[in-house]
Amino acid sequence: MADFDAVVVGAGFAGLYMLHKLRGLGLTCRVLEAGSGVGGTWFWNRYPGARCDVESFSYSYSFSEEIQQDWNCSHRYAMQPEILAYANFVADRLDLRRDIGFGTRVSAAHYDEQQQYWFVDTSGQGSFRARFLIMATGCLSVPKVPDLPGLANFRGEVLHTADWPREGYDFAGKRVGVVGTGSSGVQAIPIIARQAGHLTVFQRTPNFSIPAWNGPLPESQRQQMKNDYRALRTKARNSYAGDYADEYYLSILEMTPEAREEAFEKRWREGGFNYQYAFRDLMDNAAANELAADFVRRKIRAIVRDAATAERLCPRDHPIGAKRLCVDSEYYETYNRPNVTLVDIKSDPITGFSADGLKTRSTRYPLDTLVLATGFDAMTGALTAIDIRGRRRESLKDRWRDGAGAYLGLAVAGFPNMFVITGPGSPSVLANVILAIEQHVEWLGDFLRHAKAHGITEIEADAAAEDSWMAGVRDSADRTLYPQANSWYMGANVPGKPRVFMPYVDGFQVYEAACKEVAAAGYRGFHLARATDVAA
């Protein structure tokens, strides 16, 4: 059995930075990664059109001045191959690969209370013993394959956006169906439509999408951003969303109707998430939210020529922003193409599949290829897929049966020395995730340095501290419109999953201040023990 100070699971942006941090602390570490390369999300999600929805200059590591100066992003929103190349660039630059075991899926991790060690098992790639277990398994890393009736009968190709063939896929001339119109579907649909013979989109629920207005970054702008990096990163670090755009400076309800229309139009023209974050009342006032939602619906009607199709694309079942906004390139325009059909499977549900197509209650659709853009078992799926057992062999899956939680979104009572990067109860997916990762890795790095300096061998979240933290997370969410959507933030996209709002909604900057305060108070809410304390 191989022995390390720490085992890190996952080699996405979280695992890569964690490894670098642990090395800097002089700790031995092994990263275990199921995939055959680094990059996590960007390794797996290779579907056409995949790219970031936080701008490239923000969606990148800030911890190394050298890396941020040497990397060049080509577009406002980089495409998947470029982001994957960036992850590889970082791995090479920091010489990370030699401590990563690729093709290694962690199947179990059990804590031995006497020894204060985690024993980690993999599917055929060996076992490991480590003092610390750091789960960098990602919030969106377990693809959700829906239980579509009779799918096994279909003899055509079935592809999931989050497990896309590495060699790509040629849609030329094919009859293609897409199920799913979240961010993945919204990005993939315009590109597939340009290649396919015919594309049928099977939509259950429409989402709000804001244009990306993506394009190449001129060299002068790139240089300017690099020169301004220090100020931009500071601004992001002190913001709600972990980004450097101006936010929360307008109130929808306080504006005159004319000023409001102008403000919506301006944010629509600028594109991206600022349509949400510019307005301080958008997520906590239903009337304000409805005005912002209505503006987008009017845009959809203006873009999509067929009135019935436009109406089908207009979201009405949730407040805008309560599901993650999509950021698109010609998504609505795609429905003006003669080779694209939109089917509403809420009113005309899928009833089955034949060898060569899909059937709804009213119609048969011949298909060569079915693309599932059906999302993820988000926030918890990668963790509950592993047999994780803490004190008294309690399983994490059982612990989270009624809803996931972690103290600071980082540590779970009863699971000592285990830490979850961007876990439930932290800003994670409501922030620029790379910055959320950096903050967790850095805070945890400081904690482990403190532990090393003081001979602490066991760190455990206090159960009451965890409960109170998660009660705060829920109370804050309940003061917003977020819980009003059947979103993956709520676990609502996975049948049987408890409905608990998982991310921390009070803002990245407020969260980071809370973490700093916990550290300054001697890591309040954690039990710290030395091996001798336990022996005694």
Structure tokens at 38: 């680094």
Name the residue among 36, 35, 42 with its Cα closest to residue 13: 42
Contact 418, 460 (CB under 8 A): no
Name the residue among 314, 248, 340, 327 with its Cα closest to residue 285: 248
16 versus 250: smaller Cβ distance to ligand FAD: 16
Query: Considering only residues 64, 125, 153, 205, which one is a binding residue for ligand NAP as defined by CB under 6 A?
Result: 205
Report the amino acid identity of residue 325.
Answer: L
Residue 14: contacted member of ligand NAP, ligand FAD, none (CB under 5 to 8 Å, by partner type): ligand FAD
Residue 204: contacted member of ligand FAD, ligand NAP, none (CB under 5 to 8 Å, by partner type): ligand NAP
313 versus 345: smaller Cβ distance to ligand NAP: 345
12 versus 424: smaller Cβ distance to ligand FAD: 12
45 versus 417: smaller Cβ distance to ligand FAD: 45
Q: How many residues belong to the chain?
A: 536
Cα(32)–Cα(105) distance, integer angstroms:
7
185 binds ligand NAP (CB under 6 A): yes
Site string for ligand NAP, 150-169 (x = CB under 6 A): --------------------
Within a 10 A sphere around the Cβ of 157, how many other Cβ atoms?
Answer: 14
56 binds ligand NAP (CB under 6 A): no
Cα(487)–Cα(379) distance, integer angstroms:
12
* Residue 261 burial (C-beta neighbours within 10 Å; 0-12, 13-18, 19+): middle
Query: Considering only residues 68, 141, 374, 480, which one is a binding residue for ligand NAP as defined by CB under 6 A?
Result: 374
179 versus 291: smaller Cβ distance to ligand NAP: 179
182 binds ligand NAP (CB under 6 A): yes
Cα(50)–Cα(185) distance, integer angstroms:
9
409 binds ligand NAP (CB under 6 A): no
109 versus 448: smaller Cβ distance to ligand FAD: 109
Of 310-349, binders to ligand NAP (CB under 6 A) are: 324, 327, 345
Convert 315-354 to b/e letters by CB count within 10 Å (16 or more is b).
beebbbbbbbbbbbbbbbebbeeeebbbbbbeeeebbbbe
Residue 505: contacted member of ligand NAP, ligand FAD, none (CB under 5 to 8 Å, by partner type): none
Of 450-489, binders to ligand NAP (CB under 6 A) are: 488
Residues that bind ligand NAP (CB under 6 A): 52-53, 140, 146, 179-185, 187, 204-205, 324, 327, 345, 373-376, 429, 488, 493
